A and B are shown apart, each in its own frame.
Chain A
Amino acid sequence: MAKRIIDWIDHRFPLTSFVKHELTGYPTPRNLSYWWNFGFLAGFVLVLQVATGIFLAMHYKADVTLSFDSIQHIMRDVNYGWLLRYMHSTGASAFFLVIYIHMARTLYYGSYRAPRELMWWTGQGLLLLLMATAFMGYLLPWGQMSFWGATVITNLFRATPFIGDQVVVWLRGDYTVGDATLTRFFALHYLFPFLIIGAVLIHLVALHTVRSSNPSGIDLKAKDNIPFHPYFTAKDFYGLGVFLIVYFTFVLFFPGSLIEPANNIPANPMQTPTHIVPEWYFLPFYAILRAVPNMVGGVVAMGLSVMMFAFMPFLDRSRIPGGAHFRPIFRVQFYLFLLDMLVLGYVGYIPPTSESIVIGQIATLCYFGSFFVLPFISKAEERWLIKRGLPPEVQALIASEAEEKSRRTKR
Chain B
Amino acid sequence: MKKLIALLALCSAFSTAWATETKLEKIQVDTSVAAVERGIDTLMGNCHNCHTLKYVKYRNLLALGIKKDKVDAWRGDQPLDAPLTGLLPDTAAMQSFGKIPPDLSLMASAREGGPSYVYAYLLGYYITPEGMPGNHIFPETKMPDALGISAATDAAQRAEIQSKARDIVSFLAWAADPHQTERQQLGYYVIGYLLVLTLMLYFVKKQIWSRLE
* A positions within 8 Å CB-CB of B: 30, 69, 72, 75-76, 82-83, 86, 93, 97, 226, 230-231, 234-235, 237-238, 240-242, 244-245, 248-249, 252-253, 255-262, 264-265, 277, 279-280, 283, 342-343, 345-347, 349-351, 353, 355-356, 359
CA distance A69 to B197 in the complex (A): 38
Contact of B198 among A82, A245, A260, A347 (CB under 8 A): A245
Chain A residues with CB under 8 Å of B55's CB are 69, 72, 76
Task: Specify the main secondary structure of chain B where it touches its partner.
Answer: helix
Stretch at the interface among B87-95, B110-118, B123-131, B156-164: B110-118
* Contact yes or no, A346 B6, CB < 8 A: yes
- Known contacts A242-B198, A245-B198, A230 near B208 by CB under 8 Å: yes
Q: Are B187's CB and A262's CB within 8 A? A: no
Which B positions have Cβ atoms within 8 angstroms of A? 1-3, 5-6, 8-11, 14, 16-18, 55, 60, 105-106, 109-114, 176-179, 183-184, 186-187, 190-191, 194-195, 197-198, 201-202, 204-205, 208-209, 212
B105/A248 in contact, CB under 8 A? no
Q: Which A residue sits closest to B107, measured CB to CB?
A: A264
Given A355-B14, A355-B17, A349:B5 Cβ within 8 A: yes
- With A234-B205, A241-B201 known to touch, is A261 a contact of B114 (CB < 8 Å)? yes
A252 touches B183 (CB 8 A): yes
Q: In the complex, A351→B112 CA distance in Å?
A: 14
* Bound Cα distance A355, B198 (Å): 46
On whether the beta carbons of B187 and A342 are closer than 8 Å, the reply is no
A230-B208, A241-B194, A356-B14 known; A252 vs B186 contact (CB < 8 Å) = yes
Give the distance in Å from the alpha carbon of A389 to the alpha carbon of B137 in the complex.
65
In angstroms, how far is the closest chain A Cβ from the Cβ of B51?
A: 15
Docked pose: A262 CA to B55 CA in angstroms:
17
Instruction: Please give, as numbers and ranges, the residues of chain A lying within 8 Å of B9 by CB-CB distance.
Output: 342-343, 345-347
Q: How far is the CA of A69 from the CA of B11 in the complex (A)?
A: 37
State which of B14, B113, B179 has its C-beta within 8 Å of the C-beta of A350: B14
How far does the alpha carbon of A69 sit from the alpha carbon of B14 in the complex, in Å? 39
B62 to nearest A CB, angstroms? 14
- List of B residues within 8 angstroms of A242 by Cβ: 198
- For B110, the chain A residues whose CB sits under 8 A away are 261-262, 264-265
